[in-house]
């Protein structure tokens, strides 16, 4: 016998009602005042508050630790030199006259007890810098009387020679026209710290560079191309190393910015721009010992025409000899870097006959021209060139 199987209308209604009741309970459990979502949101808010409070507490603790470190560091330049302390935070110290300077994290004070005479700091790798004291108002470019002059020869800036600076090809280079680097940040730093630092020596070639010359070998070829900046190489500011020249301005900016970025050291680095350079020269010229240096600095540098008292001589000095092609206006290798008695300046000229394939230390030339012979010394090898420890 067959029987019909199914669900009655009453049973269907009851089932739907039960399902609706269950759905209502579920919705309340999820979205109600004490539901899962509200509970999760409250838990998230409490977690965020805890994290914020924890970060605030950590910040206070860091500040307290830094303040403790500052209090334990030397307060004077003399004491810092005597102790050889490497500063763990940026801190202002003073010299015997009461003038102040800021020593950045990761550096120690090496020499120069009086700020006006140039105080030297050094990092853990031996790079050295000199403190330039100035206010934010003193941190500025020289106000040239004659604007946008194309200086192809040594000349005074305007007729007022008391105010004018002598310049030589200083404003002739278009690629230096817009040379200011992060001017607003630099002014803020000067205002906060009371000055800035400049490298004590010319930019030196680091050992990791493809064109580095090993000071222990006279035979490694000197390379005229200095624009290979691959491998994150960066310049050094050390005594007695190969000078880093023949590099473009854009690459010089790049490698200068690599030296310090504010991580392990409490500073950032950049290529010296016009404002910093003029501020340094102004600071130097205020010293009666160096009055007029803005017009004539030949007593303090390695110049081709240096003679007599202005000529620099150094024993056991690392130096190189170079040739300048007067026709093509190009530099070539004269002799590799070598140790010996160094004397600055122009030394001789060499006539190269046309068409004879004359060879000078590996350079072949078919040009009829004169090579002027110059000597380039390694960085900081003579005290004759030192001025305020720079």
The mean pLDDT value for 53-59 works out to: 69
Q: What is the pLDDT of residue 247?
A: 82
pLDDT tens profile 102-127: 999 999 999 998 999 999 999 999 99
**pLDDT band for position 357 (50/70/90)?**
very low
CB of 344 within 8 A of CB of 312?
yes
pLDDT at 216 over 80: no
Q: What residue spans of 170-234 are helical by DSSP H? A: 183-193
**pLDDT band for position 35 (50/70/90)?**
low
From 338, 340, 379, select the one nearest 242 (Cα to Cα). Answer: 379
Percent of the chain at pLDDT exceeding 90: 30
Question: Domain boundaries in the chain?
Answer: 9-71, 123-292, 300-385
Spatial distance between the Cα atoms of 192 and 186, rounded to a whole number of angstroms: 10
CB of 241 within 8 A of CB of 379?
yes
Sequential DSSP letters for 55-108: HHHHHHHHHHHHHHHHHHS-SBHHHHHHHTPPPSS-EEEE-TTS-EEEEPTT-E
**pLDDT band for position 225 (50/70/90)?**
low
Q: Name which of 76-90, 160-174, 253-267, 374-388 the model is least confident about.
A: 160-174
CB of 114 within 8 A of CB of 104?
no
Q: What is the pLDDT of residue 127?
A: 97
Burial tier of 339 (Cβ tally within 10 Å: 0-12, 13-18, 19+): middle
Q: What is the pLDDT of residue 263?
A: 78
**pLDDT band for position 298 (50/70/90)?**
confident
**pLDDT band for position 61 (50/70/90)?**
low
Tracing tokens 């070539």 back to the chain, one arrives at: 332
Q: What is the pLDDT of residue 124?
A: 93
Count other C-beta atoms under 10 Å from residue 300's C-beta. Answer: 17
pLDDT at 348 over 80: no
CB of 212 within 8 A of CB of 186?
no
Q: Which residues contact 246 (CB under 8 A, 6 or more apart)?
A: 224, 225, 226, 227, 331
Work out the mean pLDDT of the chain and round it to a whole number.
Answer: 76
The mean pLDDT value for 187-197 works out to: 95
Count other C-beta atoms under 10 Å from residue 278's C-beta. Answer: 18
pLDDT tens profile 273-290: 888 998 999 999 999 988
Q: What is the pLDDT of residue 235?
A: 95
């Amino acid at each position: 016998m067959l029987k019909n199987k199914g669900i009655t209308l009453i049973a269907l209604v009851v089932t739907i009602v039960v399902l609706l009741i269950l759905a209502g309970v579920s919705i309340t459990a999820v979205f109600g005042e004490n539901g899962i979502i509200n509970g999760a949101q409250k838990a998230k808010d409490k977690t965020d508050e805890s994290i914020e409070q924890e970060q605030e507490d950590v910040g206070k603790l860091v500040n307290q630790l830094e303040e403790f470190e500052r209090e334990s560091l030397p307060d004077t330049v003399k004491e810092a030199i005597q102790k050889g302390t490497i500063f763990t935070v940026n801190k202002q110290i003073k010299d015997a006259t009461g003038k102040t300077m800021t020593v950045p994290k990761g550096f120690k004070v090496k020499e120069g007890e009086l700020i006006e005479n140039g105080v030297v700091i050094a990092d853990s790798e031996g790079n050295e810098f000199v403190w330039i004291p100035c206010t934010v108002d003193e941190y500025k470019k020289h106000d040239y009387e004659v604007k946008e002059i194309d200086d192809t020869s040594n000349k005074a800036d305007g007729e007022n020679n008391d105010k004018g600076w002598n310049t030589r090809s200083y404003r002739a280079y278009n690629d230096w026209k817009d040379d200011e680097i992060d001017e607003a940040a630099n002014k803020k730093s000067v205002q906060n710290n009371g000055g800035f630092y400049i490298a004590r020596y010319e930019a030196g070639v680091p050992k990791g560079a493809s064109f580095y010359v090993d000071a222990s070998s006279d035979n490694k070829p000197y390379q005229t191309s200095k624009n290979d900046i691959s491998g994150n190489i960066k310049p050094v500011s050390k005594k007695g190393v190969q000078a880093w020249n023949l590099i473009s301005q854009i690459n010089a900016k790049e490698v200068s910015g690599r030296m310090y970025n504010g991580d392990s050291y409490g500073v950032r680095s950049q290529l010296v721009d016009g404002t910093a350079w003029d501020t340094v020269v102004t600071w130097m010229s205020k010293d009666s010992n160096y009055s007029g240096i803005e017009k004539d600095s030949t007593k303090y540098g390695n110049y081709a025409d240096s003679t007599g008292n202005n000529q620099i001589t150094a024993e056991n000095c690392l130096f190189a000899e170079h040739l300048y092609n007067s026709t093509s206006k190009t530099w070539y290798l004269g002799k590799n870097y070598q140790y010996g008695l160094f004397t600055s300046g122009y030394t001789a000229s060499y006539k190269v006959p046309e068409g004879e394939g004359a060879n000078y230390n590996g350079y072949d030339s078919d040009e009829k021209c004169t090579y002027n012979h110059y000597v380039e010394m390694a960085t900081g090898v003579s005290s004759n060139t030192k001025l305020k420890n720079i």
